[in-house]
Amino acid sequence: MSLLTHILGWPLLAALVLAFVPRNFRFLTRLVALAATFTSAVLAVVMFVKFDTALATDFQFVQILPWVASLGISYHVGVDGLNVGLVLMGALVAFAACCCSWEIKEREKEFYILLLVMTGGILGAFASLDVFFLYFFHELALVPTFIMIGIWGRGEEKDYATFKITLYLSLGALLALIGLLALYLQMPEDKRTFDLVTMTAHFRAQAMDGSAQQFIFPLLLFGFGILVSLWPFHTWAPLGYGAAPTATAMLHAGVLKKFGLYGLIRIALPMMPEGAAMWMQWLAFLCLGNILYCGLVAMKQKDLNLLIGNSSVAHMGFVFLGIASLNVLGITGAVLVMIAHGFLAALSFGLSGYLYQQTKTLEMEKLGGLLRQMPFFGAAFVMAAMAGCGLPGFANFAGEALIFFGAWTEFRVVTILAAWGALVIGAVYMLRAVRSILHGPLPQQWHAAQDASTLWCRLPFALLIGALLLFGFFPVLLTKKIEPVAKQIVKDARAVLKPSVTVGVKN
Amino acid sequence: MNIHALPWFILFLPLAAAVVITFFTQRNKTASAALSIAAVITSFALSVVLFVKLSGETLPNPETFNLPWLHVSNLYVDFGIKLDQLSILMLLVVTGVGSAIHIYSFGYMHDDRAVSRYFASLSLFMFSMLGIVLATNFVQMFIFWELVGVSSYLLIGHWYERPSAAEACKKAFLTNRVGDFGFLLGILLVWSTLGSINFGTLDDMLKANPAALGTAATAAGLLVFCGCVGKSAQFPLHVWLPDAMEGPTPVSALIHAATMVAAGVYMLCRVFFLFTPDALSVIAWIGGGTALLAALMAVQQSDIKRILAYSTLSQLGYMVMAVGLGGPASAMYHLTTHAFFKALLFLGAGSVIHALHHEQDIWKMGGLKAKLPITFWTFLVATLALCGVPPLSGYFSKDEILALALGKNQALFAVAAFVALLTTFYMFRLVFVAFTGPAKSQARDHAHESPAVMTWPLIFLAVLTVVAGFIGIDERYADVLGKPALGNHNVAVIFGLSAFLIGLFAAWKLYANALSDPIPAASSRLASLLRNKFYFDELYAKIIACTQEALATAADWFDRWIIADLAVRGAHGTTELTGRALRLLQTGNLQTYAFLFVTGVVVLLYVVLR
């Protein structure tokens, strides 16, 4: 069996095992969940290390099991340079999320089962090379999200948030489904298959009918876009994350949300160059809605989770900008930011969840001076804030820099505004959060707040910060893998456009 | 050891110290301090070795030290070491002055509760600054540029529990970010026009074809200059620097003398090839304007550190003006001498503050000359140097800038000479009021001289201040940056010395024995205008409130009530309404159903049989 099947299989298997563990064996429940996600994470690291960068455009760790031959559906997993980093990020974040789940005190068994199903689903969605399974795994991860927010969520608006996130994401998934089915039907009848590799190769050789592209591309763009909180379909995100239990927010904001972006890059761009040519400039303007508008909204938030939620929506704007620029720099940067933001969003929501445990409130006006009481938490939070406003040394900077260089040659005004959003607006809300939570005098009521002092408390945060720093210091670890695939995708997607403006001399 | 390995050690030792302190010696204050101090002193020693070994030698092509950091498509970002006379001299200044400040900090911060955090941040700061000095390309410089920003944020906010410090560090970081915004756009513009971000390559390209940047040339230069406006606190982004005084005094010394603000000027000299004559004249006027504005503000401050802060602003204005007038060598010369005496001034002020138990108001000082002799005499040396009195180093460097202005732009020369007068005035106001004039409070009675760990750095810096004019620093800079075209030297000297004498006389007349400031009594409006720094802070607060903050409020409102509410609840409402409408059809009345059924059949029959 392929390593990938192990990576996504262990959490699913563990979910099955947990179903038979008695409800009151709480320690065992946790242990099984931790062991499964830990195994996944370790195997993902092994896979990432073993991945042959020289052959980054080829799929590696491939496994194919035919399932419904008549419809051309098969279980087909594999990674190339595009998704190898995403699978790694997903597995690490899942383990960190599992570590952060000690806050769940009731119905633990069900919670951990759902968490494991969600993990397996996410990893499956990123590893699948079959459109049917890709979608199936995504739904497998999506449905537990709704249930977890509905049952273990917090805050007064929990029910409304659950309702809203379900409505939005189901709608997005539905649009994407229609688009994907339409793609399938565009294949000639005798060759119809859900196999992604075959489909891409087919449409590369035999361009899809232009009018079909004009119809299908927006379905995928907006379907996937809603899943990623593309402006103006973003309002579910801050609200949903604000209400979600910590682990769910970490996994969804960090990993599952990236699925829509992955779908756009993997499916929509290379198969429908004409659609891309038509829609990318619109996307460039929509992404300003994410970067500027949601950044401004984040400035005004009084609740920390709403602030982080809006900032994560804003960060998605950079990825959209990278995609919209349709050049190697932009796409490579977009994938890099997807991975970096996965770690960062998980870190931010993990920290805010920890803070909530200590103070039972995330209203920033009530907090203050906590750096003295909680030095480890404070240091980690400052790092998250700095990574969030694009400080070099964290992986986000490398990705955002690539996106700016990529977008500059395509959309100059948009890039200028986006740079303002990244450098100034992002810094304003992040530093305001630090100022009101950590700095200033410590109010009497928080003298009892406990710092994350045990190894288990610190581990998830240390792991995520470590990953951000590792890829921040050595972005080549990722870009060397992403770039060759990005080149191929750009080549496919620009089939009808003139090649992008080339600037640059070696040194 | 291979000589080319040295710069890597110089650069990474402070980072290593910061990392080790953070992870291992948090609880042991002395070990943390020792590590940090050892790192910076070793860096200094290695810089001296490098200086001695490489001086006079033709330096190898810096490109050979490049490591690829991020190569994607047509963007080549290297992590390299740029080694030429400019960077080696700057290394010496940064690590030398940095060493003195590190050692001094050990005494000054002795009783602080977070010494380890302090020294870790200090080492991070050194690392970031050295990175700027050694950068070979724009992106590498931008990376360390940002790191300097964040380490200054950590240090200015060291006493984060004080709201004023918490606000100050935020302000410093954000103001710098505004400058960085322009800097980043400048980098993008240069890259997209010339296709490279490497200083060496760009220099060669522009030498081969000065018009290579085309119409973007002036814009690119000015955008890059924005970075300097932020870091070196030039008008209109000067507002963060005085507030940055909220940090511990050695931090102010570091920010004002050897790091951070010097980075902006250094960057201008590093990329001097980029600037067109138009861009240079804007730079010169911004520099001259800042020098004048800050000198005026300094006249009415009463906080000892703030007076020094405005004098830094003003001197930075000189340096930027010198770059704008086509004399980067003069700017670097003044930067170097200024680093010595400004560090000395700040450390002297720190010694006073330390002795008076954190009293910073000069109108509560007085008569400190006898109590703090070493502090006083070293402070006086630095003051005289700042005022440009021969034969101290400040005289030579300032005189060079005056002569440069005289040759290039008479109006700026007049500004510069007037600023020199103001400088002497406000500095001697400080000296008279705090040191030689009558005591104004009880605080003085218990004051005593600082310990040796704090006074030795003062003496070290005082010696540097005295000798720096004679050891050929200017020639070395002229070798690498080109000899500036100076105007008539004698005229400049006469104007400079007259400015000093007039300023000294005025200060002596007004403040030698003053118990309170006579200026507000004479002209209260002028005094409050100066004291309130021409109301720039208030003006900016208003501008931000009615632009970005107003936009944010509007966006928040729109998000909450229009997008989230109307769209979502609207969709929800439509669905519900449809549901209700459809429910009306479900009456549960068999006759209604039968009627509808028959109607349907009739309609169907009609359609089919028609």
Among B397, B260, B280, B428, residue whose Cα is nearest residue B329: B397
**What is the spatial distance between Cα A497 and Cα A386, in angstroms, rounded to a whole number?**
38
Among A426, A427, A451, A425, residue whose Cα is nearest residue A438: A451
- 3-state secondary structure at position A344: helix
User: Does A424 contact B552 at a Cβ distance shorter than 8 Å?
Assistant: no
Nearest to B161 among A329, A372, A416 (CB): A372
Nearest to B75 among A393, A439, A504 (CB): A504
Residue A159: how many other CB atoms lie within 10 Å = 13
Q: Which residue has the tokens 């700026």?
A: B412
A346: tokens are 């998980």
B176: tokens are 């710098």
Q: Bigger pLDDT: A163 or A123? A: A123
CA A458 to chain centre: 22
What is the rounded average pLDDT of the residues A404-413? 92
What is the rounded average pLDDT of the residues A18-36? 89
In sequence order, what DSSP letters do the residues of B118-143 get, joined into one string? Answer: HHHHHHHHHHHHHHHHH--BHHHHHH
User: Does A391 contact B150 at a Cβ distance shorter than 8 Å?
Assistant: yes
List strand residue ranges (DSSP E) for A165-229, in order.
none
Contacts of B556 in chain A (CB under 8 A): 296-297, 299-301
Cα distance between the two ends of chain A: 45
* Residue-level pLDDT at A363: 86
Residue B427: how many other CB atoms lie within 10 Å = 25
User: Does A392 contact B196 at a Cβ distance shorter than 8 Å?
Assistant: no
A59: tokens are 């799929």
Q: Which residue has the tokens 């005026």?
A: B296
Instruction: Tell me how close the Cα of B535 comes to any Cα of chain A, in angstroms.
Output: 22
Amino acid in the structure at residue B14: P
| pTM recorded for the entire structure | 0.91
Between the CA atoms of B236, B239, B242 and B247, what dihedral angle is there, to the nearest 10 degrees? Answer: -130
**What is the spatial distance between Cα B508 and Cα B492, in angstroms, rounded to a whole number?**
24
Instruction: Tell me how close the Cα of B427 comes to any Cα of chain A, in angstroms.
Output: 34
Residue A448: how many other CB atoms lie within 10 Å = 9
Using CB atoms and an 8 Å cut-off, which of residues 70-129 of chain A contact chain B? Answer: none
User: Does A479 contact B572 at a Cβ distance shorter than 8 Å?
Assistant: no
User: Does A503 contact B191 at a Cβ distance shorter than 8 Å?
Assistant: yes
User: Does B192 contact A425 at a Cβ distance shorter than 8 Å?
Assistant: no
Strand partners, B75: B72
* Chain A residue whose CA is closest to B173: A427
Mean pLDDT of chain A: 90
The residue count for chain B: 610
What element of type H or E holds A79? strand A73-79
* Chain B residue whose CA is closest to A165: B568
- 3-state secondary structure at position B179: helix
Contacts of A479 in chain B (CB under 8 A): 70-72
**What is the spatial distance between Cα B184 and Cα A107, in angstroms, rounded to a whole number?**
51
Using CB atoms and an 8 Å cut-off, which of residues 412-441 of chain A contact chain B? Answer: 415-416, 419-420, 423-425, 427-428, 431-432, 434-435, 438-441
* Residue-level pLDDT at B287: 94
Contacts of A425 in chain B (CB under 8 A): 548
Query: Does the pLDDT at position A463 exceed 90?
Result: yes
Gyration radius of chain A's alpha carbons: 22
Per-residue pLDDT tens digits for A231-255: 888 888 888 898 899 999 999 999 9
ipTM: 0.92
Instruction: Tell me how close the Cα of A20 comes to any Cα of chain B, in angstroms.
Output: 40
Among A184, A200, A280, residue whose Cα is nearest residue A492: A200
Question: Kind of pairing, strands A73-79 and A60-68?
Answer: antiparallel
pLDDT mean by block of 10 residues, chain B; 610 residues? 80 93 88 93 92 69 70 88 86 92 89 90 94 92 93 92 90 92 94 89 88 86 93 89 88 83 92 91 94 91 90 92 91 92 91 86 84 90 90 89 89 92 92 85 78 88 89 84 81 89 90 81 80 83 83 84 69 71 71 80 79
Q: Are B177 and A424 in contact (CB under 8 A)?
A: yes
The residue count for chain A: 507
Interface test with A, best of B11, B65, B70, B73 (most A CBs within 10 A): B73
Q: How many helices (H) and strands (E) does chain A have?
A: 23, 2
User: Does A432 contact B170 at a Cβ distance shorter than 8 Å?
Assistant: yes
Using CB atoms and an 8 Å cut-off, which of residues 290-329 of chain A contact chain B? Answer: 293-294, 296-297, 299-301, 327-329
User: Does A476 contact B181 at a Cβ distance shorter than 8 Å?
Assistant: no
List strand residue ranges (DSSP E) for B12-125, in order.
67-72, 75-79
In sequence order, what DSSP letters do the residues of A9-77 get, joined into one string? Answer: HHHHHHHHHHTTS-TT-HHHHHHHHHHHHHHHHHHHHHHHHHS-GGGTTS-EEEEEEEEEGGGTEEEEE
User: Does A391 contact B146 at a Cβ distance shorter than 8 Å?
Assistant: yes
Contacts of B66 in chain A (CB under 8 A): 507
Interacting residues of B532 by C-beta distance below 8 A, sequence separation 6+:
B538
What element of type H or E holds B331? helix B328-355
**What is the spatial distance between Cα A128 and Cα A122, in angstroms, rounded to a whole number?**
10
Q: Are B221 and B183 in contact (CB under 8 A)?
A: no
**What is the spatial distance between Cα A241 and Cα A252, in angstroms, rounded to a whole number?**
8
Any CB–CB contact under 8 A between A404 and chain B?
yes
Between the CA atoms of B323, B329, B332 and B334, what dihedral angle is there, to the nearest 10 degrees? Answer: -90
**What is the spatial distance between Cα B126 and Cα B130, in angstroms, rounded to a whole number?**
6
**What is the spatial distance between Cα B233 and Cα B259, in angstroms, rounded to a whole number?**
13
User: Does A479 contact B143 at a Cβ distance shorter than 8 Å?
Assistant: no
Q: Are B392 and B465 in contact (CB under 8 A)?
A: yes
The vertex-B282 CA angle with B278 and B283, nearest 5°, equals 115
Q: How many helices (H) and strands (E) does chain B have?
A: 27, 2
Q: Are B394 and B373 in contact (CB under 8 A)?
A: no
User: Does A504 contact B559 at a Cβ distance shorter than 8 Å?
Assistant: no
* Residue-level pLDDT at A304: 92
Strand partners, B137: B198
**What is the spatial distance between Cα B442 and Cα B439, in angstroms, rounded to a whole number?**
8
B304: tokens are 């000892």
User: Does B161 contact A332 at a Cβ distance shorter than 8 Å?
Assistant: no
Any CB–CB contact under 8 A between A465 and chain B?
no
User: Does A440 contact B166 at a Cβ distance shorter than 8 Å?
Assistant: yes
* Residue-level pLDDT at A137: 94
Using CB atoms and an 8 Å cut-off, which of residues 160-179 of chain A contact chain B? Answer: 164, 167
User: Does B70 contact A476 at a Cβ distance shorter than 8 Å?
Assistant: yes
Among B195, B33, B155, residue whose Cα is nearest residue B99: B33
User: Does B161 contact A502 at a Cβ distance shorter than 8 Å?
Assistant: no
**What is the spatial distance between Cα A187 and Cα A164, in angstroms, rounded to a whole number?**
35
Amino acid in the structure at residue B293: L
List strand residue ranges (DSSP E) for B404-522, in order.
none
**What is the spatial distance between Cα A16 and Cα A12, in angstroms, rounded to a whole number?**
6
Instruction: Tell me how close the Cα of B226 comes to any Cα of chain A, in angstroms.
Output: 14
* Chain B residue whose CA is closest to A386: B150
Interface test with A, best of B71, B74, B185, B556 (most A CBs within 10 A): B74
